[in-house]
Structure formats: C-alpha cells, structure tokens
Amino acid sequence: MSGLRGRLLAPVLAVVFSALLCAVALLFSGDHPWTALRVMISQVGQGTTAVDIVNSAAVYYLSGLAVALGFQMKLFNIGVEGQFRLAACVAAIVGGLWVLPPVLHTVMIIVVALLVGAGWAGVAAVLKAYRGVSEVISTIMLNAISTGVIAYLIRPDTFGVLEGNNISTRPIASGGHFPGITLGTKGTLFGMVFVAIALGIGYWFMLGRTRFGFELKASGESPTAAAAGGVNARRMTVVALLLSGAVAGLIGLPGRDFAYTLNAPQGYGFTGIAIALLGRNNPVGIAAGSLLWAFLDKAALALDNIGVPREIAVIMQGVTVISVVIAYEIVRRYELTAQRRRVAAEANLAFAPAESPPPGPPPPGSPPPGSPSGPTGVAPSEAR
C-alpha cells in the first residue's frame, strides 16, 4: 500500500462507514436519509453558509494544529481549551485597555494571545520536563484553573464591564480589529483563515524541512534513538508544548465580538483533539478534518430546519472520529502482517543455505516503500 491511495483509503472508508451508520440511524428515527443528505449538501450554496464553514474551519484548524504539534512528540495537550480561552480573555483585556495605532494594535493583541497561550502551556511543559508530571493530568487541571482565572479577570471590579445581563471585557477599538475580506452577500471571510493557511504551510515546512521538525518527529518515534542522535528530550518537550500553546492562543481571535464575554465560545480545544486525530497530524489532513467538522456543524442547523433531529450531525462527527481511528489501525495491522510475511519468506530463502558463507542478494520484490509500520510490535524484543 503506497502513496496517495494508501493514505486516502482509511479516511475515505471511515467517512463512508459513518455516513452509512447515520443513514441507518435516520431510517430508525423515521426520516429519509436521502433527503437529509440532499439538504446537508445543498445548504452549502445558500446565503453565507460556505463562508461560515470556511471561517469556522479556520478556527478548528488552529486548534487541530495545536494538538497535532504535541502529538508529533507523543505529548497529549488536552489543555488547548484552557490555553485558548485564557489567551483570548487576556488579549481582549489588553486590547481593550491599550489603544495603539491600527496595525500595531492588532499585532499587539496577537502577540499577547501567543504569549499567554504559550505561557499557560509552559506551566505544563516545565512540570513535564523537570518533574516528570504527566502533561495529560497537568493540562486538565490547568483547564479548570483557567476557568477560575477568567471568571476573576472579567469581574466588573477587575477588568470587566457590565453590559445588561452580560459581563464583558472592554470592547477593542476598531483599530485593533483583525481585518477580514467582505464578499458581499456571501459573508465576510475572516483574516484568521489566512493565518491558519500560513500556519499550516509553516507546520508542513517545519516538519519536513527544519532541524527542529526532524528532532520533534525523531523524539516522538523513538526517544532512545533520538537521545543517541543528540536530541535533547527535555528541550524538545518544552519547545513542543510552548509552540502548541502559542498556536492555541490564536484560536480565540477570530473576531466576531471584539471583547471577551461570559458566553465566549468554548470547546474548540477539545474539538481540536478530534480533528488532529481525523487528520492524522498531517497539515492537509487536518484541513480536511476541520472543513468536514465545520460542514457538519452547519448541516446540523439545516437539518433542524427540515425537522430532522440535528443531533444526527453530532452523531456523524463522533462516529467519523472513531471510524477513522479504527480504520487506520486495521489498515496498519494489515500492512504489518503483510510485511512480516514478506520478510519471513525472504528470510527463509536467505537462511536455507545459511551454513555456507555470504547469502545472495535479496530476492526481487523487496518490501515496497511507504508502509507505515508502527514501532509497536515490530522491534524484535530481546532481553537486556
């Protein structure tokens, strides 16, 4: 299994499988799957839906990227949620208090968000690198703490202002707004979309072309080999989590309300985990995953309009993630056994005349490239 076909097989299988499963669920609830599917697809062309999907996909993309950065090193940053919320809140406060000339103002807000996100992740990074505290535990706890910190920060007697029933930070002056592109009746494309694309390209470049990306992947694949190759595991842990947190810091800045309010969006951080899984940490895969997710979000609304339970879209999101994980595992195992059989057959050929010196060249049709044999179970375990 090589190249594009191999890489696409698992996700396509998974999406088809989950669509079928949802069709069955629809039939049970007495709705017609075909109608539902038509509505889901046709909604894209209506009003601002297409642009809305891209806008919210951009946010999901940032979140997926933040999680994927950790995953590259086998670090599970569950704290993207807390990092992005705290970053959004602090950036909104700073942006509301200090008014700078237009472009500088926006830049300052972004820098604050990056720093706060990175700083909040940095707590987990330092605990992990110097005290061995599992980043899973510490980031979950930091999520809870961030909720408390935010609640304190936006109280009217600290940095908040009371607006009707809602508490909010001081609104950011228009000079600090992140610019977007207005597409007439189709809606407004947020500038964050371009930031997301740029970050995606940067992520791809970093992984494939930079020393840091190589060291990140090496540490994730084999910490022992990375150490022997001179990679400083502690430094990598800290830097990977800081970067993850910095990207997380950008999630909360898409710019609809130019303030942080009590009902500011939540949950993007957790969605990011699902999307990173969907996209297999691959920059293009994550993009596809975010678009799919945003599409299903919108589809839920459209389905609601024709009386189909909107939960069907949520079910489909969940089922897709699980199917993708299972499909990749099945494909991986299948390839592993296939490869084992090939190597064993080859080895036996080479071993038959083993008593006589050098074995001949390996038989033709040696293992094909590109089979992603995981490290698990492949390595011949031997006593040490």
Footprint on this chain of another protein (rule: CB under 8 A) = 208-215, 217-218, 221-222, 224-232, 339-340, 343-344, 346-348, 350-351, 354, 357-359, 361-362, 366-375, 378-384
Q: How far is the CB of 363 from another protein (least distance, A)?
A: 10
What CA–CA distance (Å, rounded) separates 178 from 255? 6
Cβ nearer to another protein, comparing 263 with 379: 379
Cβ nearer to another protein, comparing 155 with 209: 209
Cβ nearer to another protein, comparing 15 with 226: 226
For 359, other C-beta atoms within 10 Å of its C-beta total 13
What CA–CA distance (Å, rounded) separates 185 from 162? 33
Q: How far is the CB of 9 from another protein (least distance, A)?
A: 18
Q: How far is the CB of 61 from another protein (least distance, A)?
A: 25
Task: Decide: helix, strand or coil at residue 169.
Answer: strand
Task: Decide: helix, strand or coil at residue 35.
Answer: helix
188-190 and 180-182 strand pairing: antiparallel
Of residues 156, 158, 138, the one with CA closest to residue 146: 138
Cβ nearer to another protein, comparing 221 with 257: 221
Task: Decide: helix, strand or coil at residue 148.
Answer: helix
Q: How far is the CB of 362 from another protein (least distance, A)?
A: 5
Q: How far is the CB of 378 from another protein (least distance, A)?
A: 5
Cβ nearer to another protein, comparing 41 with 344: 344
By the 8 A CB rule, do 139 and 202 touch?
A: no
Q: How far is the CB of 380 from another protein (least distance, A)?
A: 4
Q: Which two tokens stand for residue 8?
A: 């696409």
The enclosing H or E element of 161 equals strand 160-163
Q: Convert 188-218 to b/e letters by CB count within 10 Å (16 or more is b).
A: bbbbbbebbeebbeebeebbeeeeebbbbbb
Cβ nearer to another protein, comparing 177 with 342: 342
Cβ nearer to another protein, comparing 4 with 379: 379
What CA–CA distance (Å, rounded) separates 57 from 70? 20
Q: How far is the CB of 358 from another protein (least distance, A)?
A: 3
What CA–CA distance (Å, rounded) separates 205 from 197? 12
What CA–CA distance (Å, rounded) separates 166 from 239? 38
Cβ nearer to another protein, comparing 309 with 368: 368
Q: How far is the CB of 356 from another protein (least distance, A)?
A: 9
